[in-house]
Amino acid sequence: MAINLRTTQAETREQRLGTITHWEGNAGQLARDSAHTHGCGRGCDNGGRRLCEQSTPFAQASMCAEHIAVTNATIIQEALVIQHSPIGCAVSQSSTCRYYRDLAARRGWKLEDPQSICTNLGEQDMVFGGIAKLEQTIREAWERHHPKVIFVATSCATGIIGDDVDSAARQLEDEIGIPVVPLHCEGFKSRHWSSGWDVIEHGILRRLVRPDPPRKQDDLINVIHLGGPDVFTPLLAPLGLRVNLVMGGNTLDRLAELSEAAATVTMCFVLSYLATGLEQEYGVPEIKAPLPYGLADTDEWLREIARVTHREHLVEDVIARERARIAPELARLRQALAGKRGFVAAGAAFAHGLLADLRELGVEVDGAYSFHHDPSTDSGDPRQDTLSHLVETWGDIPNYTVSPDQHFQAHAALLRAKPDFVICRHSGSMAVLTARMGIPVLPIFYSNDGLGYEGLLTIGRSILRILPRKRFCEDVAAHSRFPYQPWWLEQTNPFALGADPA
């Protein structure tokens, strides 16, 4: 389905991709059902059934799209974000600030606090509308900080009371003379927080990418990532490519340049909206290859980039050199990890990547937990079907749970898997749960850690560093308990409550 940039609102990923948040079974079945229902082979006989979402009457606090959209808008340099909301939505400012400063230190940017302001709506505004306060805040923001762009993020409250944020943004944009970009990200509108990525990428595509690029830069490649250090330049510079690293903090210039690049790669297809949009609107080709997790897929990924950017003559050398470079340490890590059982908890394509890494490292994995599932990507290209690819390359994952970071379900899944360690993203509830169950955990804050050849070493070394913490985890586990009913504490089926209401 084409991306629609005419409206200010991005369609949610449930609508575009058929995203689901609850499912349980083996990964092979999920891959087949997804392809059958939403994929390119829609309706064809691949052994799949109609993809059916499961449900459970119990639910625990999760995360919202507004959080993702606002965080990723705030870390854009020289931008200012207005959260048009009651104060509670904006309480995440302190964590966003910490994140930005950490990124700045790692990437060598100026160490300063990012700019964000909350309109701070109260009861009166709920009755009379919050637009006057929004206008006042936009003016105030401009006078205080003179940013180069202002994002205005909506919230559940402003969505329900029906504030016309688009008109206010247009009007203030004329008045102060910089782009004022609405981000429609009411938390209740999408069942999964990852829709927040689409919202910010929609805003970037519509307003921050240079629409008529004056030139093409043949050696520039857009790399869209979740955030973190630049692990791409060492791989791509030998091909004569310059990396335009976007999302996860960038300058407005870099975003403007997106339309000038020779190609775009996305490091996690949960974020593929931007790459697909760039191809659709500006003809910047999107690299359609499996993600570079594990040796063979990294080889293929580099070959595909070389093919699209006409650098085939350079690529085999790079591959051979990199493989030779990491070989001795990879062998050491494989030996040290032999016989260990791992478990992965992360979001969709990113989880698939980490699973591939673990299997490449010789770790046994038969359980995984994905925070949501995208049955398709925006391009719809089967080469971006990371789950099918994982199952074909590395074999099935017998216990594959889809659940939006639900503590009680993760508890059951971990009890069933009994791993020696867990790798997880969204280090909040999952990491704490794991440690409290006596299992050492590797929380991944910067998602580039597992990518490419070096990523195998990074992940392998990190696992070895956390394994000895088992002592701490087991001690705490032995002296604390979770407030679940005894029958749930023994439960190993994450969906037991839906299937059999006890």
Q: Under the rule (CB under 6 A), what is the footprint of ligand SF4?
A: 64, 66, 85, 89, 155-156, 186-187
Q: Residue 60: which of ligand SF4, another protein, none does it interact with, CB under 5 to 8 A by kind?
A: another protein
Per rule CB under 8 A, is residue 79 in the interface with another protein? no
Pick out residues in 131-190 that bind another protein (CB under 8 A). Answer: 133, 136-137, 140-141, 144, 156-157, 160-161, 187-189
341, β-bridge pairs: 364
Q: Nearest approach, Cβ of 89 to ligand SF4 (angstroms)?
A: 3
What stretch of H or E contains 343?
Answer: strand 341-346
**Owner of token pair 């504030």:** 163
What phi and psi, each to the nearest 5 degrees, are found at residue 345?
Answer: -130, 110
Choice between 117 and 435, CB closer to ligand SF4: 117
Per rule CB under 8 A, is residue 372 in the interface with another protein? no
Here's the x/- map for another protein, 321-360, by CB under 8 A: it reads as: ----------------------------------------
Choice between 291 and 424, CB closer to another protein: 424
Burial of residue 50, with CB atoms counted within 10 A of its CB: 0-12 exposed, 13-18 middle, 19 or more buried:
exposed
Cα–Cα dist 330/317, whole Å? 19
Per rule CB under 8 A, is residue 418 in the interface with another protein? no
Per rule CB under 8 A, is residue 118 in the interface with another protein? yes
Q: Residue 295: which of ligand SF4, another protein, none does it interact with, CB under 5 to 8 A by kind?
A: none
Per rule CB under 8 A, is residue 89 in the interface with another protein? yes
Q: Nearest approach, Cβ of 78 to ligand SF4 (angstroms)?
A: 25
Choice between 34 and 155, CB closer to ligand SF4: 155
Choice between 122 and 395, CB closer to ligand SF4: 122
Q: What is the 3-state secondary structure (H, E, C) of 171-239?
A: HHHHHHCCCEEEECCCHHHCCCCCHHHHHHHHHHHHHHCCCCCCCCEEEEEEEECCCCCCCCHHHHHHH
The interaxial angle of helices 470-478 and 429-436, nearest 10 deg, is: 80
Count of residues near another protein by CB under 8 A: 68
What stretch of H or E contains 365?
Answer: strand 364-370
Contact 369, 343 (CB under 8 A): yes
| Contacts for 123 with CB less than 8 Å, ≥ 6 apart | none
Cα–Cα dist 217/225, whole Å? 20
Choice between 34 and 158, CB closer to another protein: 158
Residue choice 341, 416, 484, 492 for contact with another protein (CB under 8 A)? 484
Contact 383, 290 (CB under 8 A): yes
Choice between 119 and 309, CB closer to ligand SF4: 119
Note the residues at the interface with another protein (CB under 8 A): 56-67, 82, 86-95, 97-98, 112-113, 115-123, 125-126, 133, 136-137, 140-141, 144, 156-157, 160-161, 187-189, 191, 193, 404, 407-408, 428-429, 432-433, 482-485, 488, 497, 501-502
